[in-house]
Amino acid sequence: MTDARLVVAGAVVDPATRRLLLAQRRYPPEVAGLWELPGGKVEAGESPEAALRRELREELDVEVRVGSALAERVALRDDLTLIALRAQIVAGTPRPADHEALRWVDTVGLGEFARDGLLVPADAVWVPELLTELGG
Ligand code: 523
């Protein structure tokens, strides 16, 4: 059996405002309109860190410095595993190339998105860890 492919998402936090970047998906229909940590599939031969830098450059037009992984990983399907890496923007202002909209949220905002069921289901696993991180 081959290893599951990775999907890497960015927990992009602005240290100055202690806010997390959420991005609203346009597709597929099951999750269109819901909010996620932006990212995408790791390509063959690519590291998760490089994949996240590439995805956020393509999707948001920003350069990021990638840090450590959040604790949870999520099996999306048998062949696809979702991870999240911490990231900070080092150049650019995020603009949504693929997403419907972007939003910076603090602990209150993130709690509201989660409570109202507005997050992509897989990403909800990271809410407790992110609330601690943004609040702590
Ligand atoms: N997720 C997910 N959460 C999350 C991301 C970035 C992705 O649950 N934060 C899921 C959604 C899809 C799969 O991971 O089932 C691939 O994500 P996608 O579509 O953002 O990755 P792409 O853009 O690399 O893949 P293509 O749509 O194939 O281009």
We report the CATH number of the domain holding residue 60 as 3.90.79.10
Ligand 1: does its nearest atom lie under 6 Å from the Cβ of 40? yes
Average pLDDT over residues 132-136: 90
Q: Is residue 119 scored above 80 in pLDDT?
A: yes
Amino acid (1-letter code) at residue 34: L
- Which domain covers residue 101, as residue numbers? 5-135
Average pLDDT over residues 103-112: 98
Are 92 and 62 within 8 A, CB to CB? Answer: yes
Ligand 1: does its nearest atom lie under 6 Å from the Cβ of 122? yes
Q: Is residue 1 scored above 60 in pLDDT?
A: no
pLDDT tens track for 6-56: 999 999 999 999 999 999 999 999 999 999 999 999 999 999 999 999 999
Do strands 80-91 and 74-77 pair parallel, antiparallel, or not at all (unpaired)?
antiparallel
Q: Show the CA angle centred on residue 79, arms to residues 78 and 81, nearest 5°.
A: 90
Q: Is residue 2 scored above 70 in pLDDT?
A: no
pLDDT of residue 4: 79
pLDDT of residue 77: 85
Are 54 and 46 within 8 A, CB to CB? Answer: yes
User: For residue 15, what is the enclosing H or E element?
Assistant: none
User: For residue 133, what is the enclosing H or E element?
Assistant: helix 127-135
Q: How far is it, in rounded angstroms, from Cα 103 to Cα 113?
A: 11
Q: How far is the CA of 40 from the centre of ligand 1 (A)?
A: 5
Question: What band does 97 get if pLDDT is binned at 50, 70 and 90?
Answer: very high
Ligand 1: does its nearest atom lie under 6 Å from the Cβ of 109? no
How many domains does the chain divide into?
A: 1
From 80, 82, 125, the mutation candidate for ligand 1 (largest count of ligand atoms within 8 A of CB) is: 82
Ligand 1: does its nearest atom lie under 6 Å from the Cβ of 37? yes
3-class SS of residue 59: helix
pLDDT tens track for 52-95: 999 999 999 999 999 999 999 999 987 999 999 999 999 999 99
Ligand 1: does its nearest atom lie under 6 Å from the Cβ of 59? no
